Chain A
């Protein structure tokens, strides 16, 4: 379900937006628009990466796999980043699962065309390097957050990261999904979500989360959220 990009759209992906106009125009004919559909697999672990995605809206979750198929979200990508980074780092297969966590759209490019642009010594490699640094920080933060912080604070962190990347205050998310992302049992997610609802920070019904009190959520989130937000704010230097 993709069509070529006909004219210069407002560039909603921050990496593409940071390219000099000449380089962007060189890339443009290679970019095709595609929809990101909730719960869709973009890559599974070990898949060959055929396309690199620049999300323009929505959220993609990166999940690492533990034993017996348990999963844990190690990072999220929205319009600040790129899905398919291993290709840039010289690896043709995906080291984790990439699943759409919030509906949206992306511009995608065939891996060969992407690599060709990376080899031109333009601005793209530099932007991708900085993005890699930010992602490394995000994954590192996940290590500490999963170790030290309570489920509720982590749930809030996840909701805020999603809210930042979605254009709306309401988005689809199932408890099953959340339990996978956070690496905790479903009951624990239900309990935390119910608690946030009772405090009127969110509303949650039939798989739809509404952010009601963003400020209070930020106050209740663990420090990790603030640190990551700053890291990404510094991305474009």
Chain B
């Protein structure tokens, strides 16, 4: 997939789209389109980050990495957000690995440009700060979900979060990768996926998972999913869920 060259595509990223026209024009000149492949690592734990990424169609998974190599996903970033919060928060490195969970496009911005825009453009700054709060909620709820909910519920949550950030119903994804992300054994993932397939909520074939019954998944998922969604809606003016607009506000 070629990187898209039209800078206006950057508005497919909701954060960038939320900028007033003149600010967007300004920020646009600092953006560079990039195409990202499944499994590509944008940065490793401990790396200095040279770019922030605003995904438009790609999904990036942030994995926390332990010294012994064990990993667990702490959050996902798609067209709802930006990868590189640490940059404008003044942390030079993180203990996260950022890996592409779904191939697609993004716009990247140089470290120093991001810092400069953050410092100079109040509306950009406010947006990024609010996004940080939404991300904090997402990560917190991942912890809650890990601790309190079944692998099956977690898989539902993970599938819905991914589905929300995709333009299709098909996720290219192996159980191995999901097991790394959820921090559970592959057998656990396989078992949970089989159960969901049996209930006809998903189809699971050769490295792909197809969402068959979106509503069914939403009924099977734990509360963590809607809490995160409500927070995104409250903070950023729109929930990420594909069906969010049909829901009762809470």
- A90 and B140: CB pair below 8 A? no
- A89 and B132: CB pair below 8 A? yes
Q: Contacts A86-B133, A91-B235, A141-B64 known; A66 to B90 CB distance under 8 Å? A: no
B194 within 8 A of A: no
B146 within 8 A of A: yes
Nearest residue, chain A, Cβ from B135 = A136
- B72 and A90: CB pair below 8 A? no
Residues in A whose Cβ lies below 8 Å from that of B149: 66
Residues in B whose Cβ lies below 8 Å from that of A134: 91
Nearest residue, chain B, Cβ from A87 = B133
- B139 and A136: CB pair below 8 A? yes
A50 within 8 A of B: no
- B143 and A142: CB pair below 8 A? yes
Nearest residue, chain A, Cβ from B130 = A90
Q: What separation, in Å, do the CA atoms of A184 and B145 have in the docked complex?
A: 13
Q: What separation, in Å, do the CA atoms of A133 and B162 have in the docked complex?
A: 25
A135 within 8 A of B: yes
A215 within 8 A of B: no
Q: What separation, in Å, do the CA atoms of A34 and B49 have in the docked complex?
A: 40
Q: Which residues of B (94-144) have their CB < 8 Å from a CB of A?
A: 94-96, 126, 129-130, 132-133, 135-137, 139-144
Q: What separation, in Å, do the CA atoms of A65 and B222 have in the docked complex?
A: 12
Q: Contacts A89-B129, A147-B72 known; A95 to B137 CB distance under 8 Å? A: yes
Nearest residue, chain B, Cβ from A73 = B143
A70 within 8 A of B: yes
- Count CB-based A-B contacts (< 8 Å): 124
Q: What separation, in Å, do the CA atoms of A139 and B134 have in the docked complex?
A: 13
- A66 and B223: CB pair below 8 A? yes
Interface size on B, residues (CB 8 A): 45
Q: Contacts A74-B140, A144-B72 known; A129 to B146 CB distance under 8 Å? A: no
- B140 and A66: CB pair below 8 A? no
B215 within 8 A of A: no
- A130 and B90: CB pair below 8 A? yes
- A64 and B144: CB pair below 8 A? yes
Contact string against B for A residues 59-72, beta-carbon threshold 8 Å, 1 for contact and 0 otherwise: 00000111100101
A111 within 8 A of B: no
- B183 and A148: CB pair below 8 A? yes
Nearest residue, chain B, Cβ from A182 = B147
- A146 and B143: CB pair below 8 A? yes
Q: Contacts A91-B235, A140-B139, A143-B142 known; A67 to B89 CB distance under 8 Å? A: no
Nearest residue, chain A, Cβ from B142 = A143
* Chain A interface (Cβ < 8 Å from any Cβ of B): 64-67, 70, 72, 74, 86, 88-91, 95-96, 126, 129-130, 132-137, 139-144, 146-148, 183-184, 223, 227, 237
5 A-B pairs with the lowest CB-CB distances in the bound complex, closest first:
A133-B91, A133-B89, A89-B133, A183-B147, A67-B223
6 pairs, A vs B, C-beta closer than 8 Å: A65-B144, A66-B222, A74-B140, A132-B89, A139-B139, A146-B147
